[in-house]
Structure formats: C-alpha cells, structure tokens
Amino acid sequence: MSIKGAGLRIAVAAGMHAGGDSHRSPIRVPYWLLSPSLIPLTVVVFIPMAFAFYISLTGLNQNTIGDWTHAPFVGLKHYVDGLDPRGPLAPSFYSSIKASVVFSVATTLFILPIGVGAALLLNGHLRGRTFLRAVMLLPYIIPTFVNGILWRLVFMTNTGIADQIQAALHLGPRDTFWLIGPRSLWALIVADVWASWPFIYLMALAALQTIPADVYDAARIDGATTFRTFRRITLPLITPTLGLGIALSTINHFNNFALPYVMFGPTPPDEVNVMPLNIYVNSFITFNLGLGAAMSVVALVIMLAPAVIYLRAARIGDAD
C-alpha cells in the first residue's frame, strides 16, 4: 500500500528509539487539525476494509454492482468453495496461497544476507562510501512497473539476456522458457530480489549506526576476531531491527501486485499466480467481486502473524 513501504518502516525504525519526553498542553484539542486526515482515512481506508468483509459474504458481480444492497447474501459460500479441499475453487485457491507463501519467504531469505552484507560493508570505512550508499538504493527507487518490464525483457525466450548467458556458459539451451512454466517462479524471485534487497540494507544500516564505535574498540583490544565480534556484538544488537525488517519484507512481498502483473500479465503461469493477481482477475476481469473479496480476507489472515510481529516490534520504546 505504501511505496513498497519504505517510508513508514524508516520512520518506525527511527521512532523505535525516539521515546523521550513529550510536551502536551492540557488545553482544548484542535480537532479541526485532525479531521482533514481522519475523514479521508475513514472513507478511503477504514470503511472499505469493513466493506471488504461484507462483500466477501455476498454474490456481488457485474449485474448487481449498480444495486449492491440487493446482491444476494451467500454467507460463507466463497470461503467454503475455496478452502474446502473438495470445493470447486480449491485448486486455484491453494495454488495461489502456495505461490504467495513460497515467493514471499524465498525472496525474504535471499535478500537478508545481501542486505546485511552491504550494510556491514558500507558502515565501515571505505573510499567513495557516500557514492556507494546512494547507488545501492537505485533498484529500490525505480517504479515497480519499470522493474517488471525490465525483467520481462531479461527473461524473454531466445532474445533475452538470461537465455543468452545461459547458452554461452553451456548451462542450458537458448530457447528456455522463463516466463511460462515452472521456471517462472525463479524469474519472479530474481526480479524481486534485485529490486527489494536495499530495504533490508536500509534497516540494517540504520541499526548498525546506533552501535557506538567504542564497543568495537573494546572488543578489538580484547583480541576478538572479526567473526567473533560480528556474532557476539553486532548480530545481537541489530537483531530486533532485522526482525522488524523480515516481518515487513514478508508482508510486502506477499502483497506485491505490480511486479507479477507486469511480468506475466493477467493470465500468469500457476507457479506465479500469487494471491493479489488471482484476486485482481476474479474482481476486475471476471467480475466475481464476492469471491475476490473472500480471497483478500484470506490473504489478510495469512499475513496476521508477521503483522503482529511488526506491530509489537514497532511499539518498542513507544509507551507514551
């Protein structure tokens, strides 16, 4: 929902340590300053969320949308159709859930070492550090749809650079299909790893910068090796922030619609038919709005675990 979520995450990382005294006057609260934000939030976010739950219980489609109050109430029908293993939509439901879980867990696992490695490197003394720190952010900033177009080209059969490199190194034939069939999952993972690792890098770098230099100096004087210093000092100190980063990254990848949509279009291979894509097709192409809403509620429930981790982590030191 946010720009790949960068903003709030960074603010949260900062807020985690912000705590401190707050100054508040006991006088009249100027609600007129709050309502210009509160009203749109209610209309555009809070009410639609509640409405999504209601729609998921109805048979809303293109025929009933003009007169939505008369859309037939079908109860849990969509949930049963999708989640009951014998239900008519279970194969599509479960294959999408699997695709989404595999995709978000795999990308998070890959970007973790890449991001932490870059943060460790650029937290130390290095000539050209300012330049490198800026360049590392570039993949994260380009619009996701541009990223999708780019990797679609990279993985084109025959003419894409992926097939050409593969053929030149004798790793596989030049006419390998990456955008259809089982390899599409790898194409999607590679594209997303490249675009999203700077998020972990930003979080790790922010955490590393809070560690005072004398801690390292003390360790060095005591004769600790680089590896030992990392394992015993650095890692424990950045773990809370990294935990926040991992939870957010998982949620972010799980909710990513733009990248698979641009890379594979509205009729993707099963391996990459992630939940946001499936929901989009059900809602806006076949116009089965009730079913689409039920699927997005399921997606929200699956993401509850990382969301709770995120909310708890974000509220550390924020007890006022």
Residues 210-229 that bind another protein (CB under 8 A): 210, 214, 217, 220-221
Give the span between the Cα atoms of 242 and 112, in whole angstroms. Answer: 9
Which residues 6+ apart lie within 8 Å of 247 measured at CB? 306, 307, 309, 310, 313
Q: Are 162 and 186 in contact (CB under 8 A)?
A: no
Please identify, among the stretches 5-13, 88-96, 105-113, 228-236, the one whose residues bind another protein according to the rule CB under 8 A. Answer: 5-13
Report in angstroms how near the CB of residue 86 gets to another protein at its nearest.
27
Report in angstroms how near the CB of residue 74 gets to another protein at its nearest.
16
Give the span between the Cα atoms of 23 and 18, in whole angstroms. Answer: 14
Determine the distance from the C-alpha atom of residue 38 to the mean position of all C-alpha atoms in its chain, rounded to a whole number: 26
Among 99, 136, 185, 188, binds another protein (CB under 8 A): 136
Q: To which H or E segment does residue 276 belong? A: helix 275-284
What is the pattern of x (binds another protein, CB under 8 A) and - over residues 52-91?
x--x----x----xx-x-----------------------
Q: Please work out the total of residues on this chain that contact another protein, with binding judged by CB under 8 A.
A: 119
Q: Are 263 and 152 in contact (CB under 8 A)?
A: yes
CA atoms within 13 A on the CB side of 142: 16
Please identify, among the stretches 103-111, 179-187, 207-215, 230-238, the one whose residues bind another protein according to the rule CB under 8 A. Answer: 207-215
Among 260, 268, 269, 276, binds another protein (CB under 8 A): 276
Instruction: Indicate the length of the chain as a whole number.
Output: 320
Q: Are 139 and 198 in contact (CB under 8 A)?
A: yes
**Which lies closer to another protein via its Cβ, residue 105 or residue 126?**
126
Report in angstroms how near the CB of residue 293 gets to another protein at its nearest.
6
Query: In the chain, helix, strand, coil percent, each to 5?
Result: 70, 0, 30
Among 57, 74, 89, 118, binds another protein (CB under 8 A): 118
**Which lies closer to another protein via its Cβ, residue 85 or residue 212?**
212
Please identify, among the stretches 90-98, 105-113, 126-134, 232-240, the one whose residues bind another protein according to the rule CB under 8 A. Answer: 126-134
Determine the distance from the C-alpha atom of residue 82 to the mean position of all C-alpha atoms in its chain, rounded to a whole number: 24
What is the pattern of x (binds another protein, CB under 8 A) and - over residues 281-320?
--xx----x--xx--xx-xx--x--xx--xx--xx-x---
Strand positions, DSSP E, 113-264: none
**Which lies closer to another protein via its Cβ, residue 20 or residue 85?**
20
Q: Are 273 and 95 in contact (CB under 8 A)?
A: yes
Span 150-189, contacts to another protein by CB under 8 A: 150-154, 156, 158-161, 164
Determine the distance from the C-alpha atom of residue 55 to the mean position of all C-alpha atoms in its chain, rounded to a whole number: 25
Give the span between the Cα atoms of 122 and 278, in whole angstroms. Answer: 40
Planar angle of CA 8, 14, 19, nearest 5 degrees: 120
**Which lies closer to another protein via its Cβ, residue 85 or residue 159?**
159
**Which lies closer to another protein via its Cβ, residue 97 or residue 118?**
118
Report in angstroms how near the CB of residue 14 gets to another protein at its nearest.
3
Among 76, 105, 138, 285, binds another protein (CB under 8 A): 138
Give the span between the Cα atoms of 174 and 159, in whole angstroms. Answer: 8
Q: Are 266 and 284 in contact (CB under 8 A)?
A: no
Among 40, 172, 173, 181, binds another protein (CB under 8 A): 40
**Which lies closer to another protein via its Cβ, residue 73 or residue 284?**
284
Report in angstroms how near the CB of residue 62 gets to another protein at its nearest.
11
